[in-house]
Amino acid sequence: MPTLGRVLIIAGSDSGGGAGIQADIKTVTALGGYAATAITAITVQNTLGVSAAYPLPTDLIAAQALAVLEDIGADVIKTGMLGDVEVVERVARLLDDAARPVVIDPVMIAKGGARLLADDALSPLLSLLVPRAALLTPNAPEAEALTGIAVQTPDDLRRAGEALLAAGSGAVLMKGGHLPGPRVVDLLITPYGETAFEGERIDTRHTHGTGCTLASACAVSLAQGLSLEVAVARAWDYVHQAILQAPGLGRGNGPLDHAWPLRGRR
Ligand SMILES: Nc1ncnc2c1ncn2[C@@H]1O[C@H](COP(=O)(O)OP(=O)(O)OP(=O)(O)O)[C@@H](O)[C@H]1O
Ligand SMILES: [Mg+2]
């Protein structure tokens, strides 16, 4: 059994419990870690989509993070939905002060289409947060927005990933969930090489929160002291099983089974 591993998660709340802070807490807990949070926004959300998003004041977000760091501490910080320029800038300063490895999920648009990052926050995300990431986990549209490279194939993912490494990220996990085809391929690219994580595409609509879940599984695994390659392999397996065992809730993109390790593999 790995050591505890403390993760401070800076992200938005999903009332439906499938993505965002809720997915992050469930993932970190299911993998044996300790989750603490700084909530950036409250979204009104279910499997059918986001119907409202209420950003919290930047000072309140920072105060939550500082209260955690000053007392409980964190081995790894994970960021998700940040919302606007002011929060991106404040989080960048926080990350410098905390001096902890950071997993950055550059969340931009929810599965249902709702915008979770202001357009003018894209450039500060690239200049302030990408260089501070130990691991950056963009999906294909986010990789396109950050690099200007059209991403439709694993080769495009690789090109965009190399551009993000050049922009200063320590490593990138390029997610291929949005690319067409019967197989899903994610690429972990580091300055030392590339590892592909590949499997059959699971034919399901229950993929709400896959991205948050993957990034949090990486974060807790790193917090527990696993190497990057082993952490990503464990995270990939955790998400894959969680999709396979999705409980089928809701009428839209349903949530995963974050608690599958308690039930065992199917
Ligand atoms: N249908 C599927 N079958 C198998 N794996 C999948 C499927 N959909 C997504 N994944 C995996 O889930 C992870 C998240 O990928 P995806 O590209 O969907 O991220 P995302 O768009 O950020 O997700 P989210 O919409 O939750 O933010 C990746 O490891 C991807 O390979
Ligand atoms: Mg995502």
pLDDT in tens, 197-224: 999 999 999 999 999 999 999 999 999 9
How many independent structural domains does the chain possess? Answer: 1
Measured by CA distance, the residue closest to atom 22 of ligand 1 is 211
CB-CB contact of 138 with 175 (8 Å): yes
Contact 103, 215 (CB under 8 A): yes
Q: Round the average pLDDT of the chain to a whole number and report it.
A: 96
Query: In CATH, what number is assigned to the domain containing residue 234?
Result: 3.40.1190.20
Query: Which residues are close to ligand 2, an ion, with C-beta < 5 A?
Result: 211
The residue whose CB lies within 8 Å of the most ligand 1 atoms, and thus the one to mutate among 115, 175, 256, is: 175
pLDDT band at 8 (very low <50, low <70, confident <90, very high): very high
> Does residue 1 lie within any of the structural domains?
no
Q: 261 CB under 6 A from ligand 1?
A: no
pLDDT of residue 112: 77
pLDDT of residue 1 exceeding 70: no
3-state secondary structure labels for all residues of the chain: CCCCCEEEEEEEEECCCCCHHHHHHHHHHHCCCEEEEEEEEEEEEECCEEEEEEECCHHHHHHHHHHHHHHCCCCEEEECCCECHHHHHHHHHHHHHHCCCEEECCCCECCCCCECECHHHHHHHHHHHHHHCCEECCCHHHHHHHHCCCCCCHHHHHHHHHHHHHCCCCCEEECCCCCCCCEEEEEEEECCEEEEEEEECCCCCCCECHHHHHHHHHHHHHHCCCCHHHHHHHHHHHHHHHHHCCCCCCCCCCECCCCHHHHCCC
What is the whole-number distance in angstroms between the Cα of residue 212 and the centre of ligand 2?
6
Phi, psi of 12 (to 5 degrees): -95, 155
Residue 235 belongs to a domain: yes
How many CB atoms are closer than 10 A to CB 257?
Answer: 21
From the CA of 177, how far away is ligand 1's center (Å)? 4
Tell me which residue has its CA closest to atom 10 in ligand 1.
177
Q: Is residue 169 part of a domain?
A: yes
Kindly state the average pLDDT of the residues 175-198.
96
Q: What is the Å distance from ligand 2's center to 105 Cα?
A: 7
Residue with the nearest Cα to atom 26 of ligand 1?
A: 209
Residue 29 belongs to a domain: yes
pLDDT at 211: 97
Distance 75 CA to ligand 1 centre (A): 25
* Ligand 1 pocket check for 67: Cβ under 6 Å: no
Tens-place pLDDT, residues 66-124: 999 999 999 999 999 999 999 999 999 999 999 999 999 999 998 778 899 999 999 99
- In-domain check, residue 185: yes
User: 226 lies in a domain?
Assistant: yes
Whether 2 shows a pLDDT value over 80: the answer reads no
Residue labelled with tokens 């919302």 = 83
Does any domain span residue 57? Answer: yes
The residue nearest atom 6 of ligand 1, judged by CA position, is: 177
Measured distance CA(217)–CA(231) in Å, rounded:
8
User: What pTM does this model have?
Assistant: 0.97
pLDDT of residue 79: 98
Q: What is the pLDDT of residues 16-40, one digit of tens each?
A: 999 999 999 999 999 999 999 999 9
Instruction: For residues 75 and 184, give the distance between their C-alpha atoms in angstroms, rounded to a whole number.
Output: 30
pLDDT at residue 170 is higher than 60: yes
Residue 157 pLDDT greater than 60, yes or no:
yes
Residue pair 243/39 in contact (Cβ under 8 Å)? The answer is no
Q: Which atom of ligand 1 is nearest to the CA of 23?
A: 26
Residue 56 CB-density burial (10 A; 0-12 exposed, 13-18 middle, 19+ buried): middle
Residue 189 has pLDDT above 80, yes or no: yes
Q: Which domain holds residue 244?
A: 6-263
Mean pLDDT of 256-264: 97
Relative orientation angle of helices 210-223 and 20-30, to the nearest 10 degrees = 40
